[in-house]
Amino acid sequence: MNFKANNINVAYMGPPSSFSHQAAIQHFGEDSKLIACESIPDVFNFTSESDNNFGVVPVENSNEGMVTHTLDMFINSEVKIAAEIFLDIHLNLLSNSKLEEITTVFTIPIAFAQCKNWFVENMPEVKHIDTYSTARAAELVSGKENSAAVAGILASKMYNLNVVAECIEDYDQNMTRFFVINNKMPTKDDVSKSKTSILFSIKDIAGALYESLKPFRDADINLTKIESRPSKQKAWEYYFFVDFIGHADDEKVKSALGKLINHCNFVKILGSYPV
């Protein structure tokens, strides 16, 4: 799959300088046609409109876990996962006011969570206001006094904000995983080693989850991730998201998936993509 073609469009959750924007640049290059969207659903919708459209969406942070909004979008969307991106995340307090003058801080909830110890120690009384992206937080703060944003260095340059405090995340190992989405997924011949993501819901009987996962163990398929999400259709009914090593077209994977279907109400292959 050619990610460097001249006629592709790449959507990300903006505004420009968001971490999704940085992930898109890292994967596709600065010269690609990058398009800022206001939300994760907008990225999915834009991507589904054309095979030439790609999207970049956050899926998991190494410290705060899964981005549930992204997982939920895969339930009804037909787009596929074409690649994954890992981006080191460094969070900074950006403002044109001094630290002692700041009364309000803007950023996304997951960024606040990643810096909670720093705020307890340094700004315990500050008011937190949620935004839909770190870049939007920086954009808002650029026109406000006594306010700050938690965002990346790129946002400080784009919105002319000073770095009041640098790298305020609580853990040095702070990384976010993004998915590249498209209407198609790479074929088995496109990559030498693949990872596959699937989504399924199990029957409401004893041992259903165990029996669903057993075919992967029997086939010696390495499961690297399992996550559950409420179906939002029936109380206590869940979808399971699973990552494993291998391509959906591998014979042993096709065999395991065939057996999985016997224990499930619903099975969906989200994509096979390079490890």
Q: What is the distance between the alpha carbons of residues 181 and 183, in angstroms, rounded to a whole number?
A: 7
Catalytic one of 47, 70, 176, 196: 176
Q: What is the distance between the alpha carbons of residues 64 and 61, in angstroms, rounded to a whole number?
A: 5
Task: pLDDT band for 172, please (50, 70, 90 cuts).
Answer: confident
Q: Among all chains, which residue has been given the structure tokens 């199990």?
A: 202
Catalytic one of 178, 179, 216, 241: 178
| Contact status, residue 79 vs residue 269, Cβ threshold 8 Å | no
Q: Is 239 a residue whose pLDDT tops 80? A: yes
Which pair of tokens denotes residue 177?
Answer: 């995983």
pTM to 2 decimal places: 0.88
Looking at 124-133, 155-164, 227-236, 264-273, which range is the least confident one? 227-236
Task: pLDDT band for 235, please (50, 70, 90 cuts).
Answer: low
Q: What is the distance between the alpha carbons of residues 249 and 168, in angstroms, rounded to a whole number?
A: 44
At residue 266, what are phi and psi to the nearest 5 degrees? -160, 130
Query: Which pLDDT belongs to residue 47?
Result: 97
Q: For the chain, which domains are there?
A: 9-89+174-182 (3.40.190.10), 92-165 (3.40.190.10), 188-274 (3.30.70.260)
* Average pLDDT score over residue span 133-155: 94
Contacts of 35 (CB under 8 A, 6+ apart): 9, 10, 11, 12, 46
Q: What is the distance between the alpha carbons of residues 221 and 212, in angstroms, rounded to a whole number?
A: 13
- 266: annotated active-site residue: no
In DSSP notation, the chain reads: --TT-TT-EEEEESSTTSHHHHHHHHHH-TTSEEEEESSHHHHHHHHHT-TTEEEEEEEEETTTEE-HHHHHHHHH---EEEEEEEEE---EEEESS-GGG--EEEE-HHHHHHTHHHHHHH-TTPEEEE-S-HHHHHHHHTT-SSEEEEE-HHHHHHTT-EEEES---S-S--EEEEEEEESS---GGG-SSEEEEEEEEE-SSTTHHHHHHHHHHHTT--EEEEEEEE-SSSTT-EEEEEEEES-TTSHHHHHHHHHHHTTEEEEEEEEEEE-
Query: Which pLDDT belongs to residue 263?
Result: 85
Share of the chain above pLDDT 90, in %: 76
Looking at 66-80, 114-128, 158-172, 223-237, which range is the least confident one? 223-237
- 178: annotated active-site residue: yes
Task: pLDDT band for 1, please (50, 70, 90 cuts).
Answer: low
Q: What is the distance between the alpha carbons of residues 216 and 258, in angstroms, rounded to a whole number?
A: 11
Query: Which pLDDT belongs to residue 103?
Result: 97
